[in-house]
Structure 1
Amino acid sequence: MSDIKPRILPLPRSEWTDDAREVFAFWGEPNAWEEGSKTNVMMVLANHPAMTQPYNIWSKHLLMGNTLGTRFLELIILRVAWRVKSAYEWHNHVGYGLNAGLTLEEIGAIRDFPDGGDWNEQDAAVLRSVDELIADGNLSDATWATLSGYFDTRQMMDLVMSVGHYVMTSWGLSAFGVQIEGGADQIGFDLKTKSGRIPGKTYKPGETEDWTDTRGY
Structure 2
Amino acid sequence: MSGELKTRIGNLPREEWTDEARHVFAYWGEPDAWENGSKTNMSMVLANHPPLANAYHTFGRHLLLASTIAVRPRELIVLRAAWHQKCLYEWHYHVGYGLTAGLTMQEIEAIRDGWQSPVWDGQDEDRAVLRAVDELIETSRMSDEAYDALAAHFNKQQLMDFVFTVGNYVMLGWAVATFGVPVEEGVDPIGFDLKRRSGGALESTNRPFEKG
Taking structure 1 as the reference length, the TM-score comes to: 0.93
> What pairs with 1:122-133 in structure 2 (closer than 5 Å)?
122-133=125-136
- Long gaps (5+) in structure 1: 212-217
Equivalent residues, number: 209
Residues 151-203 of structure 1, C-alpha deviations (whole Å, 9 max, x = no match): 11110000111000100011101110001001211000000001111211111
The aligned residue for residue 202 of structure 1 is: 205
**What is the CA–CA distance in structure 2 between the aligned matches of 1:183 and 1:8, rounded to whole Å?**
20
Q: Does 1:91 align with 2:119?
A: no
**What is the CA–CA distance in structure 1 between the aligned matches of 2:183 and 2:80, rounded to whole Å?**
19
The aligned residue for residue 146 of structure 1 is: 149
Residues 112-160 of structure 1, C-alpha deviations (whole Å, 9 max, x = no match): 1145342111111100111100111111111111111111111000011
- Long gaps (5+) in structure 2: none
Identity, % of aligned positions: 53
> What pairs with 1:14-29 in structure 2 (closer than 5 Å)?
14-29=15-30
| CA 116–145 in structure 1, closer or farther in 2 if over 3 Å, else same | closer
The aligned residue for residue 51 of structure 2 is: 50
**3-state SS of the aligned residue for 1:118?**
helix
**What is the CA–CA distance in structure 2 between the aligned matches of 1:44 and 1:66, rounded to whole Å?**
25
The aligned residue for residue 215 of structure 1 is: none
**What is the CA–CA distance in structure 1 between the aligned matches of 2:201 and 2:67, rounded to whole Å?**
29
Residues 35-83 of structure 1, C-alpha deviations (whole Å, 9 max, x = no match): 0000001011100001011101111211222211100000000000000
**What is the CA–CA distance in structure 2 between the aligned matches of 1:76 and 1:116, rounded to whole Å?**
16
Residue among 178, 184, 193 paired with 1:181: 184
**What is the CA–CA distance in structure 2 between the aligned matches of 1:63 and 1:5, rounded to whole Å?**
29
**What is the CA–CA distance in structure 2 between the aligned matches of 1:93 and 1:81, rounded to whole Å?**
9
**3-state SS of the aligned residue for 2:82?**
helix
| CA 151–206 in structure 1, closer or farther in 2 if over 3 Å, else same | same
CA RMSD of aligned residues (A): 1.4
The aligned residue for residue 105 of structure 2 is: 104
Asked if the contact 1:36/1:43 (under 8 Å) is kept, the reply is yes
Amino acid at match of 2:206: Y
The aligned residue for residue 74 of structure 1 is: 75
**What is the CA–CA distance in structure 1 between the aligned matches of 2:29 and 2:45, rounded to whole Å?**
17
The aligned residue for residue 214 of structure 1 is: none
**What is the CA–CA distance in structure 1 between the aligned matches of 2:125 and 2:116, rounded to whole Å?**
16
Amino acid at match of 1:100: A
The aligned residue for residue 30 of structure 1 is: 31
Amino acid at match of 1:116: S
Residues 85-129 of structure 1, C-alpha deviations (whole Å, 9 max, x = no match): 111010110010011011111111001114534211111110011
Deviates more, 1:100-109 or 1:111-120: 111-120
Asked if the contact 1:106/1:117 (under 8 Å) is kept, the reply is no
The aligned residue for residue 156 of structure 1 is: 159
Q: Does 1:169 align with 2:172?
A: yes
